[in-house]
Structure 1
Amino acid sequence: MSPASGSSKDKSNSGIARVLGSATAGISELAVFHPVDTTAKRLMSNHTKVTNLSQLNSVVFRNYANEPVSRKLFSLFPGLGYAAGYKILQRIYKYGGQPFVNDILGTRYGADFENAFGKKTGKALLSATSGSLIGIGEIILLPLDVLKIKRQTNPEAFKGRGFLKIIQDEGFGLYRGWGWTAARNAPGSFALFGGNAFAKEYIFGLTDYGNATWTQNFVASIFGASASLIVSAPLDVVKTRIQNRNFENPESGFTILKNMAKNEGFGAFFKGLTPKILTTGPKLVFSFALAQTLIPWFDNLVPK
């Protein structure tokens, strides 16, 4: 079953295929797009207006702004170990886990969704709802996300400490901002899986999402990813600023929210959205489409 699975009428793929397909997508995404993610996070963490290329160079490359191009590019790979752990687990959990939730919801409430919204819309909304629930549960991986973002945007926060030492020192402090993360993930994942499912239903007329071709998965993923990034953008900025603070000097989401509105204006809530759509968008489209294509492919390889 593809990550944007539909009702129980869709073919159900094996758990092994879901894990393998999602993990491969995560590894591929990380290899290609980690520098892009670092750039987007640094732009979102920046509190000043960027009006020229010189300022952009300083914000993105920081201490390496005046270094040769090769060193500049290398500086965009901080926290790769944390990023690998987080991204692969996240993709397995999200892309591989959503079909499990969708299967359960489809069995129990599929008829209710169809009766309330119609067959096509009900099936797409079921996929979106299961995606939203998976998005909320994603906060279990928050510590890895926090450490990845700090490595990308505020490496001084580590002060020479390794992973285990930070876990020991900070404990549940690594879950700081979990509420804002859940609030961002719920509509974002709803839009991701919902937009993807609506495209498959109404553009391609698919009755089984798992039968989508690579092209169909790619186009549907563009709809889902674009909707997800736009919907989650304001809370994503708040989440990123919570997570990039020093461990000993945290700041609440409401304080960040108030200061952003007061000092930076409404536009601050969409900082980094354009580069995120242009950069993180393709990353999400790439991995989402790849996972949806690989899961059925792996399922055909796994002995029944």
Structure 2
Amino acid sequence: MSPTAHSASDQKTTGLARVLGSATAGIAEISVFHPVDTISKRLMSNHTRVTSAHQLNQVIFKNAAMEPFFKRVFTLFPGLGYAACYKILQRVYKYGGQPFANEFLVKNFRDEFDSLFGPKNGKALMSATAGSLIGIGEVVLLPLDVLKIKRQTNPESFKGRGFLKIITDEGFGLYRGWGWTMARNAPGSFALFGANSFAKEYIFGLKDYTQATWTQNFVTSIFGASASLIVSAPLDVIKTRIQNRNFDNPQSGFTILKNMFKNEGITSFFKGLVPKLLTTGPKLVFSFAMAQSLIPAFDKLMKK
């Protein structure tokens, strides 16, 4: 088969460039967006209908709801240490790891994707599939995510215990909800990298995704982030509710699913979606666009 019959391959970047670019994006993201993430998690964890500004204030600021504004703002930074560790590792793994998975698929399955979907669609779908595979493996970081969410939404569950004490006490209990996490990550990451790649193919006509400008990365990241958040929203709500409960009061995802249907209705599976699109969406767009721009920039810098 001639080279033109194949989907085009992106220029390879070094592993170090992928780590540095992704880590820098993660650090920038956590510095700017941690309070926003706390608000989103507290809204998703809320089981009641919010019908007034007073109730919204109670949900977001909890026991500090009646404190002065600046004191309330500082309550949005719980679990920052866990969040920093988790987010930086997650971004390095996800943004830095997806190109490796994509290169594996290109090397071993490019002909199959091209013949089934055509060269342009095949390339975008390989990127999406690589993202999905990486998203499934992200479950290894689940304990840090669990501790971050509990600090944000249910700090009483720590009962004065430190990190090492919790690890010792809870063990594999910190992987509670791992199945739901994988179920959320697979389609979510597929949509993130897939929509991003399709936008690069069909909006900007890029042959090499690593040559995208900052503006192109920003625009295509909007498509990817929006698709990812919408697709993963129902499973994300279930995952968050599993993880934010007390350590000694676990509840299965199926029980939560049943209770949500019974007590809150179908719309409960999309609780927090609009705030998440308005808050987590920009966060994801910011870090994804930054990583896609910084990785080739670091690569060029190190090759000089």
Bin of the TM-score, shorter chain as denominator length: over 0.9
Aligned partner of 2:204 in structure 1 is: 204
Aligned amino acid, residue 249 of structure 2: N
What is the CA distance between 1:24 and its match in structure 2? 0.3
Tell me how far apart the structure 2 counterparts of residues 149 and 195 of structure 1 sit (CA, whole Å).
Answer: 27
Q: Is the 8 A contact 2:8 2:123 kept in 1?
A: no
Q: Does 1:154 align with 2:154?
A: yes
Aligned amino acid, residue 182 of structure 1: M
TM-score (norm 2): 0.97
Mapping of residues 228-243 of structure 1, within 5 Å: 228-243=228-243
What is the CA distance between 1:8 and its match in structure 2? 6.7
Aligned amino acid, residue 17 of structure 1: A
Aligned partner of 1:245 in structure 2 is: 245
Secondary structure of residue in 2 paired with 1:302 = helix
Alpha-carbon distance change, 8 to 99 in structure 1, aligned in 2, over 3 angstroms = farther
Q: Does 1:118 align with 2:118?
A: yes
Tell me how far apart the structure 2 counterparts of residues 247 and 109 of structure 1 sit (CA, whole Å).
Answer: 43
Aligned partner of 1:54 in structure 2 is: 54
Q: Is the 8 A contact 2:7 2:119 kept in 1?
A: no
Q: Is the 8 A contact 1:7 1:102 kept in 2?
A: no
Tell me how far apart the structure 2 counterparts of residues 179 and 30 of structure 1 sit (CA, whole Å).
Answer: 26
Q: Is the 8 A contact 2:7 2:114 kept in 1?
A: no
Q: Does 1:277 align with 2:277?
A: yes
Tell me how far apart the structure 2 counterparts of residues 161 and 21 of structure 1 sit (CA, whole Å).
Answer: 34
Secondary structure of residue in 1 paired with 2:286 = helix
Tell me how far apart the structure 1 counterparts of residues 224 and 262 of structure 2 sit (CA, whole Å).
Answer: 32
What is the CA distance between 1:303 and its match in structure 2? 4.0
Tell me how far apart the structure 2 counterparts of residues 137 and 173 of structure 1 sit (CA, whole Å).
Answer: 18
After superposition, the C-alpha distances for 1:88-147 in whole angstroms (9 at most, x for unaligned) are 000000000000000011100012101110010000000000000000000000000000
What is the CA distance between 1:183 and its match in structure 2? 0.2
What is the CA distance between 1:69 and its match in structure 2? 1.2
Q: Is the 8 A contact 2:8 2:208 kept in 1?
A: no
Q: Does 1:138 align with 2:138?
A: yes
Q: Does 1:168 align with 2:168?
A: yes
Stretch of structure 1 that moved more, 50-59 or 294-303? 294-303
Aligned partner of 2:186 in structure 1 is: 186
TM-score (norm 1): 0.97
Report how many aligned residue pairs link the two structures: 299
What is the CA distance between 1:267 and its match in structure 2? 0.5
Segments of structure 2 that go 5 or more residues without pairing to the other structure are 1-5
Q: Is the 8 A contact 1:192 1:228 kept in 2?
A: yes
Segments of structure 1 that go 5 or more residues without pairing to the other structure are 1-5
Q: Is the 8 A contact 2:142 2:175 kept in 1?
A: yes
Aligned amino acid, residue 77 of structure 2: F
Mapping of residues 93-104 of structure 1, within 5 Å: 93-104=93-104
Aligned partner of 1:217 in structure 2 is: 217
Q: Does 1:39 align with 2:39?
A: yes
Tell me how far apart the structure 1 counterparts of residues 288 and 300 of structure 2 sit (CA, whole Å).
Answer: 19
Q: Is the 8 A contact 2:7 2:120 kept in 1?
A: no
Tell me how far apart the structure 2 counterparts of residues 21 and 7 of structure 1 sit (CA, whole Å).
Answer: 26
Aligned amino acid, residue 246 of structure 2: N
Aligned amino acid, residue 274 of structure 2: T
Secondary structure of residue in 2 paired with 1:218 = helix
Tell me how far apart the structure 1 counterparts of residues 26 and 110 of structure 2 sit (CA, whole Å).
Answer: 30
Aligned partner of 2:129 in structure 1 is: 129
After superposition, the C-alpha distances for 1:179-225 in whole angstroms (9 at most, x for unaligned) are 00000000000000000000000000000000000000000000000
What is the CA distance between 1:301 and its match in structure 2? 1.3
Tell me how far apart the structure 1 counterparts of residues 7 and 29 of structure 2 sit (CA, whole Å).
Answer: 28
